[in-house]
Chain A
Amino acid sequence: MRSLSALGIIGLLLLGTYIATRPEVTESGHIRPAVLIEGNSGLLLGDESEALPNSAAAQVAEDVVNNQAFKAELEFLSQKLPKSGQRSLASQSAKAIPSGEREVMVEFSILAGKLDQDSSLKPLGLKFYKDCALGERVKENFRAFCFSRAVRLSLELENTVWDPEEIPLRIKKLGSEL
């Protein structure tokens, strides 16, 4: 009886592993290897060697890991976007840009560098810029900056002119200066 239970458990484990790692057929008819991602470490399981050359499989895995990490970075940056009504001590100065905002500004520049280096990240970048430009609580100059970047990326990736009505004209006009 005990040996039957043990066999049953092993059988279930094997079935679970098969389901998790079976190859999928994509819309274009290609077989895509199953990929399991564990955190940011990029743990791979499955029969990718049969479906794609090793280098291509590794590339797919790397892209997925990169995208996941990049997505997390963007989510973190979204939370840091300066909001209307927020005032830091440095903002008492007429000339200075408050240090917290300068920090976000620098992160925006790093983001632009990443998008320039890796085109596969651009769709995620576009989503980030759109959300930021639409954010009613986000400070106006950040919204304008995001609007400008979203319009350019949208044209490049979707071949459409992104011009949502929810964004006030003054923000669009300011963003169009860039």
Chain B
Amino acid sequence: MRHSNKREPGASLNRFLEFGLILSFSFSAAAQARFLLRPELKYSQDVTLYQRSLTESDLRFLSEAEFPVNNQEVMEVLDLTDSSSLNMSAWLAERVKVMTDSKQKLGDGAVRVLRSPATWNTEPSADFIAAYAQSRSQVMMSNIGATIYQFGKRTGQVFSLLVNGVGWISIESPRAGVVRIGDGYFAPLKPQWGAETLSRRIARIFRLETLFHEARHSDGRGSHVGFSHVICPKGHTYQGQFACDSMNNGAYRVGALLTQQFKESCTNCSVEEKELLDFLYLDSRSRVLNLEQAQETSLCDYLGAWGAGASYCEKKDPLLKPYFVDPQPEVAP
């Protein structure tokens, strides 16, 4: 594929600034050692230097975070022995391996059939077609590796994908780990919304939350391959859209838990930042349908500290049972 050399005015200056940004990173030796343990994330040629440097910086930020290490929910949902940032970084790296930009093609010779297995052991999810259509319209990011795998499963083919500057990638399982950046991924929270007080930190956490969300789509088997979303029910904020999860360990739960980890570890966050993190958490959390309320919720703890209580704090709903699906990724025959 031919890559255009045409540059926009000011491109040289931008590149110079981007280079300066990369050189300006500095971090502790311990964090550096941790960071270097992480398998390298590959980028398509179309991902700009600035976007790469921001992403690398995001990942360093994640590896340096002082997360609570005994968060039982995180350990249960992500199947980790502890909830440290080191472990969570490694979990992410296993599932997100290649980043492409929105120009990444899925046709025009960029996808080819590797083989056509005679049979698959399981049927794809009934929701797949809608989920596929949905993934194409995602504005934040989409896991195209999982999407191509699911498409292959439906049509009885195994594909490989050509990523500019990386080469052909075999899509043998949903774990191929190819994500495509959407238009909204690097869009800043400011200044459009006039919130100068909100730091880059929130935008960073928002991006990382998106990466963790997409990482979960690299998992699953059988009818739950790719952890597809379901339609949100009537009355829900996202009513009628493929923006909810039926399982309790899906992409939205993973994203919510990452935000929670950042919220609990951010000792120097401003009131505004904490409020925004609370909202981001609530938004992801609200998309996990039928999730039992946590045994000790923040508000109920607060009421308890005042010697007060409320009906919604009293009992867990006996009808709701945790619904976890197997995250182990299947492999094409």
Query: Interface residues, chain A, CB within 8 Å of chain B?
Result: 82, 84-85, 90-97, 99, 102-103, 105-113, 116, 139-142, 144-145, 148, 151-152, 155, 161, 163, 169, 172-178
Contact = CB atoms under 8 A, between A and B. Distances in A.
Nearest to A139: B237
| Minimum-distance CB pairs A-B, first 7 | A109-B275, A112-B275, A176-B299, A172-B312, A109-B272, A95-B140, A109-B276
29 contacts: A84-B239, A92-B137, A93-B137, A94-B229, A94-B241, A96-B139, A96-B182, A97-B280, A99-B184, A103-B193, A105-B279, A106-B276, A107-B195, A109-B272, A109-B273, A112-B275, A113-B271, A113-B272, A140-B236, A144-B282, A148-B299, A151-B299, A161-B309, A163-B310, A173-B312, A176-B293, A176-B298, A176-B299, A178-B282
B90 to A, nearest CB: 23
Contact of B294 (A111, A161, A163, A177): A177
B279 A108 contact: yes
A23 to B, nearest CB: 38
Contacts of B311: 163, 169, 172
B71 interface: no
B198 A106 contact: yes
Contacts of B276: 105-106, 108-109
Given A96-B184, A113-B275, 5 more contacts: A95-B243, A141-B283, A163-B310, A177-B294, A178-B298
A144 B286 contact: yes
A152 to B, nearest CB: 6
A5 B184 CA distance: 71
Interface of B: 134-135, 137-142, 182, 184, 189-190, 192-195, 197-198, 210, 213-214, 229, 235-239, 241-243, 270-276, 278-283, 285-286, 293-294, 297-300, 302-303, 306, 308-313
Given A94-B243, A109-B279, A140-B237, A177 B299 contact: yes
B245 to A, nearest CB: 10
B139 A177 contact: no
Nearest to B279: A105
A93 B299 contact: no
A9 B40 CA distance: 86
A4 B7 CA distance: 84
A95 to B, nearest CB: 4
Nearest to B310: A163
B231 to A, nearest CB: 10
Contacts of A106: 189-190, 193-195, 198, 276
